[in-house]
Every structure is written in C-alpha cells, then in structure tokens.
Structure 1
Amino acid sequence: MAELAQALVIPAGEQRVIHVFDLNMRAEQARFLREPGALAQVLGVDEIDLDHVEIFPISDLEGLGLRGYLRDGCGISPEQLAADAQALAAVEDYVLLLRSRALRGKETQLTPASQIRHIGDYHEAGADWSSLPTNPAETPESAKLYSAQRPSPRAARSRARRIGAAIFAVVIALILLVVLMLAT
C-alpha cells in the first residue's frame, strides 16, 4: 500500500478556492483518475464531483505554463502565485486542479497518496458586490422615490376609460368571431 501524505483539511462551506496538486505518476495512472471513484480513492475521500476537477498534462499548456494558466485561465492573482512560483514551475508531468465545489461544501480531510503532492491553495477572483455609500444630498431627483410627475385625476380617469374601452372592443370582436365561425 502506498504511503499517505500529510492530511489537508478543507473547511465546510469553502468557496472559490483551487487546490493544486502535482501528480507524480505515469500518464495512464493520471488519465485513470478521471474515472468515477478513482480520484476520490487516491485522495482518501468518499466522493468528489468530477465536474469541478481538472487533470491534464503540463504539456497541454505549451508556452503559457501552469502559473499563466492559473492567472489567465482561473483568475488567480499574480501575488498569490508568486509565493509558490518555484513549486509551480517544477511540475513536469500531470497536474490536478481541485475546486472547492468538487467537495460539495462539506468539511473534508484529504489524505493524498504519496504520488500526489499538494502545491498550494489559491483563491479565485470573485465579483465585487460592494458599493460606495451614497450621500442622499447627491442623489439625483429622478432617482428618488415618487419623484415622477403624477398625472392629474382627470387625466388618470381618461386613460383608464380608454384602456377599458379598448379591452371591451377586443372582447366583443372575439365573441363575434367565435359566433361567425360557429355559424359556418
């Protein structure tokens, strides 16, 4: 049985984190990890959602490299990648990118097999939903509630009558059409 590496604890509810692993194994073994249950077994967990896992050879990245892929393809900031630049550059064969969603929000303890070396965890850039507080004095008049000009009561009644008359005309036309169709 293969020796197990140090356990990696993924907290419950973790979001937008990519866990990067170097796969020190033959190409056939790395490709086999895409099969249902295989990756979960070598990571020491019950199940993994393979829709949120990437396993590929570094050679697929050609001139971009792993750092470039994580930065440009996954939205990881260059500052995060700088700390592990040498480890990322040292990956030669296959790499495993495990997104938080692959673990379905559960607290998970990964115990990867000895051929799987954890390189680092990187936070994906997310949408910034924050906004600057607005000064009520600077809010334009058109953006304030109930700021539109209200029609006069006479204009409102006139509009309501026109809408009612139009609906009445459509209903009568439909009734006449049905009567004519039944008569023929």
Structure 2
Amino acid sequence: MHVSASERGLVRLFAVDLPSEEVEAFRESVFDGDGELIDWPLANALGAFDLDEDYIELFNVRDLEGLGLPGYMVQGLGISERDVQEDGNRLSAQRGWVLVVLSSAFGRTEQTLSPRRPLRWLGTYKEEGARVRYDPLPSAGAKGAPLDVPPKPVTSNPYKTVLLAILALPAAALVLGLLFLWGSAK
C-alpha cells in the first residue's frame, strides 16, 4: 500500500486478529531511557516507519453498541454511506478488534505499507467532503440590488502621523533648549 506525502482524506481499515488479552501489548510503544522508540508492534505490523498515534484508533467492534462498524464509518469517520454500503455485509459481520488509520497518521511522509499478521486489510475509504448548501438569506434586507453608498472619505495615513511626530520631537526639544539658554543668558 503506497502512502503519498500529499495524501489526504483516506481511511484504512484493518481487522486485528488477536485475542483481547494481547491487544494492549500490541498497541503499546516501547521507549528506552532517552525517550527513543525501541519497539511498537502495531507500527511494525502495519509496516509503517512514521506513524502518529493521535490519528489511529484501535477498538473492539462490540463497543459500537447499536451503531455497528458501518454506522461508525459513516457517522464517526465521515465516509460516504454509498461507499460503506458496498462493503456493508462484510463490515457488519466483522467481529473483534479493528484498527482505523487516517491519512494524517503518516505525517505527510511518503511510505509503502506492508501489513502483516495480526493485521488483515478490510478496505480503504475516502472521507466525504462537507456538502455545501446555498440557502436563501432570511432577511428581506438581503434581497435586491445593493444601495448606492458614497465612497468612504480618505483618512490620514497613521504612519505619516507617527513619522511627523518623531521628526517634530527633536525640533521641539531644540526650540525649548534655545529658549532656556536665551532665558538664562539674560
């Protein structure tokens, strides 16, 4: 499975063929004393060398009470209902643990995945973009042609005002200094 650096909006779905008591060890990454990643069974099984755990989900399908895997994919992941219906029977029959990997999990790093046991690929789906609706505006003031509004008068440039103030300060200080010297000379 190729992941391009510009990939967006894809959702990869895998069955995780492990007993529940082994899933936690599969999920956990192991670090050394310096915080360097030593081992991550999940990333190893996926064949990914750059994987952000914030964009993956690992859960038991039975936790989707009433919603089911197809419903979660549509409502929770934003996948087109039509796309999910094509695989609906197979997805509804899925039991046990599943892994959801979003495109963002690869951190815009091009890589080739080589999934192996205990992962079993179920499908790759595209997130559905938000549909744009153009409803009429509710206000009567929003109807008709725009009014002829006179152009806004040109105001002074605040940068010029600051520049003039900066130049005027030394001149004012010079005039005050001369007045002080003239007054003390008398």
TM-score normalised by the shorter chain: which range applies? 0.5 to 0.7
Counterpart CA distance in 1 for 2:44 and 2:125 is 23
Counterpart CA distance in 1 for 2:125 and 2:153 is 60
Opposite residue 129 of structure 2, the aligned amino acid is G
CA 38–114 in structure 1, closer or farther in 2 if over 3 Å, else same = closer
2:6 to 7, 13, 20: 13
CA 129–68 in structure 1, closer or farther in 2 if over 3 Å, else same = closer
CA contact (8 A) 2:45 2:117 kept: no
CA 46–128 in structure 1, closer or farther in 2 if over 3 Å, else same = same
CA contact (8 A) 2:51 2:106 kept: yes
Counterpart CA distance in 2 for 1:33 and 1:115 is 9
CA 129–15 in structure 1, closer or farther in 2 if over 3 Å, else same = farther
CA contact (8 A) 1:58 1:95 kept: yes
In structure 1, the residue matched to 2:145 is 140
Matched, 1:104 2:104: no
Counterpart CA distance in 1 for 2:23 and 2:130 is 33
2:50 to 47, 50, 71: 47
CA 120–141 in structure 1, closer or farther in 2 if over 3 Å, else same = same
CA contact (8 A) 1:57 1:94 kept: yes
CA 150–103 in structure 1, closer or farther in 2 if over 3 Å, else same = closer
Counterpart CA distance in 2 for 1:98 and 1:151 is 53
RMSD: 2.8
In structure 2, the residue matched to 1:27 is 20
- Quick one: percent identity of the two aligned structures? 31
- Post-superposition shift, 1:28? 2.8
Unaligned segments of structure 1, at least 5 residues: 1-7, 132-138, 158-184
Unaligned segments of structure 2, at least 5 residues: 30-39, 135-143, 157-186
What do the CA deviations read for 1:104-146 (whole angstroms, capped 9, x no partner)?
Answer: 1222211112221111111112245799xxxxxxx9335xxxx
Opposite residue 149 of structure 1, the aligned amino acid is P
- Post-superposition shift, 1:92? 0.6
CA 19–149 in structure 1, closer or farther in 2 if over 3 Å, else same = same
**DSSP 3-state at the match of 2:27:** coil
In structure 2, the residue matched to 1:149 is 150
Flag as ranges the 4+ runs of structure 1 deviating above 4 A.
128-131
Structure number with greater Rg is 2
Counterpart CA distance in 1 for 2:77 and 2:43 is 23
TM-score (norm 1): 0.65
Counterpart CA distance in 1 for 2:84 and 2:149 is 52
Counterpart CA distance in 1 for 2:22 and 2:113 is 19
CA contact (8 A) 1:39 1:48 kept: no
Opposite residue 76 of structure 2, the aligned amino acid is G
